[in-house]
Amino acid sequence: MVEKGIGAAVPRKEDHRFITGRGRYTDDINLPGQTHAVFVRSPHAHARIRSIAKEGALAVPGVIAVFTGADAQADGLGGLICGWMVKSKDGSDMKAAPHPVLAVDRVRYVGDPVAVVIAETLQQARDGAEALEIDYEELPAVAAVDAAHDGPLVHDEVPNNLIYDWELGDAAAVDEAFARAARVVTQEHIQNRLVPNALEPRAAIGVYDTGTEEFTLYLTSQNPHVHRLVMSAFVAVAPEHKLRVVAPDVGGGFGSKIFIYNEECVVTWASRKIGGRPVKWREERSEAFLCDAHGRDHVTKAELALDEDGNFLALRVTTKANLGAYMSTFSSAVPTYLYATLLAGQYKTPAIHANVKAYYTNTTPVDAYRGAGRPEASFLLETLIDKAARELGMDPAELRRKNFIPKDAFPYQTPVALTYDTGDYEATLDRALELADYEGFPARKAEAAKRGKLRGIGLSCYIEACGIAPSQVAISLGAGVGLWESARIRCTHTGKVQVLTGAHSHGQGHETTFSQLVAERLGVPYEDVEVIHGDTASTPIGMGTYGSRSLAVGGEAIMKACDKIIAKGAKIAAHLLEASEADIEFEAGVYRVKGTDKQKTIQEVIFTAYVPASYPEGVEPGMDESAFFDPPNFTYPAGTYVCEVEVDPDTGTVAIEKFVAVDDFGRVINPMVVEGQVHGGLAQGIGQALLEGAVYDETGQLLTGSYMDYCMPRADDLPSFEVHTSPGTPTATNSMGVKGCGEAGAIGAPAAVINALTDAIGQRVEMPATPERIWRAVRASAMPQAAE
Amino acid sequence: MYNFTYHRPRTLAEVAQLLSANEDAKLLAGGQTFIPTLKQRLAQPSDLVDLSGIAELKGIREEGGGLTIGATTTHAEVAGSELVRRLLPALADLAESIGDPQVRNLGTLGGSISNNDPAADYPAGLVGLGATVRTSKREIGAEDFFTGMFETALEEDEIVTAVHFPKPEKAAYAKFPNPASRYAIVGVFVARTGGGVRVAVTGAAPCVFRATELENALAADFSPAALDGVSVPADGLNEDIHASAEYRAHLVKVMAKRAVAAAG
C-alpha cells in the first residue's frame, strides 16, 4: 500500500486552516467599493402586495438603491426553477408555478423576499429596509400539508394546491397480495419538518465588471457550476460564459446550499444595476430559519401485507408531501425518485406501490436535506416492520432476517425500479447484534427496571442509493441535467499534481480523500497533491456535491483522469527507456521495463513531458488530462443500526445509552473521514428522532424560528457512537469499489431510535419524540397495566 | 443595533446622574438578554449605561450567617465561589445550571432578577430562600420584588445593588430544562428554613410563585414521599409548543421531589 493512500486514516489536510481560523468563507471576502444588501421579507404567510413606496428608504443616508420584483421583471430577469419534471399518474406535467426572484403582487410565505435595499454600510441598509413602506392585504393561508387540498390556493393556477399525484409500482399486484394476506399491518405517521442549520449561514457577493462585462458571484454553494447554469439559462442574470461562480470554503450544506435561491441572483444582477460596485449579502440566522429550504414534512399511511409465516407479500404507501410555497431546485424529485424507489429496503417484498401527492402550502420551500427521501423511506419501512414484529410476536431481528434479500441474489431487481448491485444484509445485522450484545438486552432491561427506568432496544436496517445514475435514465425520469462528474489532473514540471474537480467540499474532506486517491493511483507522495474545487473559472464543469456522490462519481472521474496520465506516461517512459510500450509496466509511481531494473519515476516522465529533450514522435507535450464519469448505476450502501435507550417515566426524558452502527460502504478510502461523516449523520438522525421539528401555527407563522425553540442536538444529547464499516461488499459500479457514506447516519438513525423508544414504552410516538409526548405515552401505556 | 451613546460610570452617583439626564437611557449589566434585543433592533435606547465598572456592585461576602452577593457578580463567580459552596451550595448549583459557560461568564445576578424572565433560574432561588433585594433606594423582599412577567417592583431610576440570602437549614434546586433553549420549563427551589418550608417555582407560570400545596405537605414531613398524594393545579400555568400546562404541573411535583431528595 502507498503511504497515505487508500485505506489510511490520514488526518484531514483542510483542518489546519479551519482550526486556526484561516478558512476563507464568503463572508470573509471584502471587495473594494463593496456595498451591502438587506432583503425586505414578507411578515405574512400569504398576502397581496397593494403597494411599495420606495421614497422613505431611498431618503435614508447611505442608501444607494432599492429594487423590487417589478424592477427585476422590467429588466428581464426570469424566475427560479425546479429542475426535475415529475409527471402525475395521469401523464400530466407537475404544476410548477412561477417563482420570481423578488415577489410580485403576492407573497406566499413568511420570509418571501419582496425588495432589496443596497447601502454603503450594513447598518444603513437595515435602516433603509425599515423605512421601506409596503402595504399588504393579508390573505388566508395554509401551512399543514393535511389541510392543503381544501385550503386557500397558494397559486391561483394550481387547483387544490396539488403539484402532482404520482405513483410508482404495480397497484394491481399489490391489491392482489393484500387480498390473500394472512395479516395486514398499518401505520400512519408524520415525517417531521426539519431546518437544515448549516454552521455557516448563506452569503453571496455579486460583482459586475463594467470593463469586461463579466459577473463574478462569491457564494455559499455546494455546486457552483449548477448555480451558473441555472442563473444564466433560466434567471438570465448573465450569459453563462460571462458569469463566474466561486464557492470558497463553505461551512456545511446538508443539501440547503444545493439550491439556487433568490438572493444570489438579485445581488449579482444588482451589482450591474448600481454600476458595478460589489453587492454583499449575508443572512442572519433568523433569516436562515425562514429562507433556507427545509427538509422532510410528509404525512404517510403505510400498509404491509404478510403471510402466516411472516413473509412480506406487499407494501402499499400513500404519502402527502409538503413542498412549501414555491418549488425549490430539486424539490419534486425528493418525495418521488429519492423516496418511493427505496421502499423495498433490504427486503424481497415482491409487490410495492406508492402514491405521492405533493402540495403547495404557505411555508418555506422544502427540498433535499441530508438523506433526501431516503430517510423518509427507511423510517417508514423500519418502524412498520417493528410494528409487524410486535403484532406477530416475533423478534424484530428475525422478522427482518426472514425477509432479507439473500446475499446470493445480487444483482437484485426491486419492484420499485432500482437494481441493487451488491450487499450482504445478514452480515451487517449479525455484526451489529453482536456488538450491541442484543442477547444480553433482557438483563439490562431488568436492571433498569429496578432503578425505575424503562429500557428499550431498536433496530434499523437501512438502505440508501448514492450518486444518482445513470444520466440517461435520470433524464428519462425528468432530471433536467446529467449527473456525471468531471476531473482534470494537471501535473507540473516538478512532478506535483493538481486535481481540479467538479465536486465541491463543504465539510466532506475532499482535499484529503481525493489526494489519497491520486497518491494511490499515480504513486506520488500524498503531500505532492493539491485539490482545487469551487471556482467555475478554474475547475471543469461539474455537477457538485450532494447525495453522497462525490467519491463514487467524482472520485471515479479522478481515477479515470489518472489512468490517462499513466497511459501517456507509458509512451514517454518507453521512449526514454528504449523499450516497447508493451514492455512497460507501472507500479507505485515507477515505470519499469518488465523483467529488468531499467526504470523511470513518474516525476522524471512528467518532467520530460514538459521539457521534451528526447521525446516520442506523435505524442503531445504536457501532462494534463481530463475525464468525465457517468456511472452505470447508483451505489447502495446499507447497514444495521442498533440503538438502546432508557426512559425516565416520571418526566418522559430519554437517554441514548448505546448506539451501534455497522455500515457497508464498500471499500473505505479514509476510515477517519468516514467515521466523522457517520457521526455527523447519526447526530442529525437522532436530532430528527428526538429533538428537531419545525412548527408552524395555523396562520403560517414559524414558531420555531430560533435556537430558543428549535432544538439542535448538543454533544450531551448523544452517546459515544460505536461505528464499524466492515464487513463490506465493494461495488462494481466504480473501479474503487466505494459506495458513499455522507447520508447513511441521517437515513438509518431515526427508525433505530424510535424503535428503541417504542420498545421501552410500548407505543410509538411521533417525531420529534419530545419528553411531553413520551410522558403522555408512558402514562397511556401504564393505565391498562395498572388495571390488570 | 441602533446607535446609542455608551457610558461606563464608576459610581452609583454617576449612574443616577446619567439616568436623570437621559430619559431613554438603559442599564447594561451582563447583557445576556439585552444585547440580543439590541442586535435585533427591538430596543432603541439613547444611552447605554454599563454597570461593569462600578466596584461597589461586585463581590460575595458573608453577612449575618448568610450571603450577600453584589448585583454585577456573574453566575460563574457565584458557581465557583468557595464561600457560596460552603454556606449555600444549592445557590452555587443553581448558578452553575444557568445557560452555558459563555452566559455564566457574562450574565449577572442583578441583571437576571431585574429582567425577571419567567423561565430564569435566580427568581426561584431568591423566593425559595426568602432573600432580600437591596437597591439604590431600599430593601425589597423577594416575593414583593418579582411582580409579573418581565416585571419587578423596581422604579425607573432604581438599581439593584445586591441580594442578601439567609442561610437555610437545607435547600436544593431541581430544573427540567427546555431541550432547545435550556431555560427552565420548570425549576423548583426547595428550602427548609427556621421560618418553615419554602417551595419556589420558576418556568411554569408567568412569574415565579410559591407552591403552597407542596410547602404544606413538606412542612409536616420534609421527604419526597410526603408529596406523593399532593397535586399541583395546572390553572394559570404556561402552555406553549414545548410543554402543556398539565405537563408543567406534573413536572413541578417531580422536580420538587427531586429537590427535596437532593436537599437530604
Which of B179, B243, B244 lies closest to A711 in CB terms? Answer: B179
pLDDT for position A783: 64
> Quick check: A709 and B41 CB within 8 A?
no
Is the pLDDT assigned to residue A787 strictly greater than 50?
A: no
pLDDT surpasses 60 at A788: no
Q: For the sheet with A162-169, list strands across it.
A: A162-169, A351-359, A312-322, A298-306, A183-191
Residues B224 and B257 sit within 8 Å (Cβ to Cβ): yes
Contact A711 B180 (CB under 8 A): yes
Residue A779 counted as domain residue: no
Question: Is the Cβ of A130 closer than 8 Å to some Cβ of chain B?
Answer: yes
User: What band does A367 get if pLDDT is binned at 50, 70 and 90?
Assistant: very high
| Residue from A128, A156, A108, A122 nearest A52 by CA | A128
At residue A504 the predicted structure's pLDDT band, cuts being 50, 70 and 90, is: very high
Fold of B58-165: 3.30.465
Look at residue B264 in the predicted model and tell me its pLDDT: 86
Residue numbers in A near B250 (CB within 8 A): 775
Q: Is the pLDDT of residue A730 over 90?
A: yes
A123 touches chain B (CB under 8 A): yes
**What mean pLDDT is reported for chain B?**
96
Closest Cα of chain B to A452: distance in Å?
A: 14
Share of chain A above pLDDT 90, in %: 97
Considering only CB atoms, A710 lies closest to which of B40, B180, B254, namely B180
Q: Report the C-alpha gap between B1 and A785 in whole angstroms.
A: 57
Place of cell 434567471: A235
Residues of B with Cβ-Cβ distance to A704 under 8 angstroms: 180, 241
* Number of structural domains in chain A: 1
Residue ranges per structural domain of chain B? 5-51, 58-165, 170-263
How confident is the model at residue A786, as a pLDDT?
41
Contact A691 B176 (CB under 8 A): no
Confidence check: pLDDT of A548 > 90: no
CATH of domain B170-263: 3.30.390.50
Bond prior to A61 in cis (omega within 30° of 0)? no
What integer pLDDT is reported at residue A726 of this predicted model?
A: 73
**B179 vs A: CB within 8 A:** yes
What pLDDT is recorded for position A17? 95
Whether the CB-CB separation of A276 and A208 falls below 8 Å is answered with yes
Q: Is residue A313 part of a domain?
A: no
Dihedral through CA A774, CA A775, CA A780, CA A786, nearest 10?
130
A405-443 tens-digit pLDDT: 999 999 999 999 999 999 999 999 999 999 999 999 999
Q: What is the pLDDT of residues B217-246, one digit of tens each?
A: 999 999 999 999 999 999 999 999 999 999
Measured between alpha carbons, how far is A216 from A708 in angstroms, rounded to an integer? 37
State mean pLDDT over B47-51: 97
CA distance, residue B176 to nearest chain A CA (Å): 8
The alpha carbons of chain B give a radius of gyration, in whole angstroms, of 18
Average pLDDT over residues A236-248: 97
Verify whether the Cβ–Cβ distance A704 to B241 is below 8 Å. yes
A-chain residue closest to B176, CA distance: A651
Closest chain B CA to residue A773? B243
Domain that holds residue A575: 484-629
- When pLDDT is averaged across residues A300-312 and rounded to a whole number, the result is 97
B78 touching A (Cβ < 8 Å): no
Mean pLDDT of the A186-199 span: 98
CB contact A691 to B (< 8 Å)? yes
CB-based contact A130 B41, cutoff 8 Å = yes
A contact test, residue of B250, B253, B257, B258 with most A CBs within 10 A: B250
| Residue contact A123–B1, C-beta within 8 A | yes
Residues 36-75 in B contacting A (C-alpha not used; CB under 8 Å): 40-41
CA-angle at B17, arms to B15 and B19, nearest 5°: 70
Cα–Cα distance measured from residue A707 to residue A764, given in angstroms and rounded to the nearest whole number: 26
pLDDT band at A469 (very low <50, low <70, confident <90, very high): confident
**Inter-chain residue contact A123 with B244, CB threshold 8 Å:** no
Would A488 be classed as within a structural domain? yes
Q: How many contacts, defined by CB atoms under 8 Å, are there between A and B?
A: 39
Q: Is the pLDDT of residue A1 over 60?
A: no
Give the pLDDT mean for A296-303: 98
Q: What is the CATH number of the domain that holds A496?
A: 3.30.365.10
Residues of chain A contacting B181 with CB distance shorter than 8 Å: 707-709
Query: Considering the domain B5-51, what is its CATH architecture?
Result: 2-Layer Sandwich (3.30)
- Phi, psi at A276, each rounded to 5°: 100, 0
Radius of gyration over every alpha carbon of chain A, rounded to an integer in angstroms: 28
Closest-approach residue (CA) in chain A for B183:
A708
User: What band does B153 get if pLDDT is binned at 50, 70 and 90?
Assistant: very high
State how far residue A713 is from chain B, nearest Cα, in angstroms: 9
Q: Which of B1, B41, B247 sits opposite A772 (nearest CB)?
A: B247
Contact assignment for B251 to A651 by CB distance below 8 Å: yes
**A508 φ, ψ to 5°?**
-80, -15
The reported pLDDT for the residue numbered A270 is 98
Decide if pLDDT at A784 tops 70: no
Residues A317-336 have pLDDT tens digits of 999 999 999 999 999 999 99
Question: CB-based contact (8 Å) between A709 and chain B?
Answer: yes
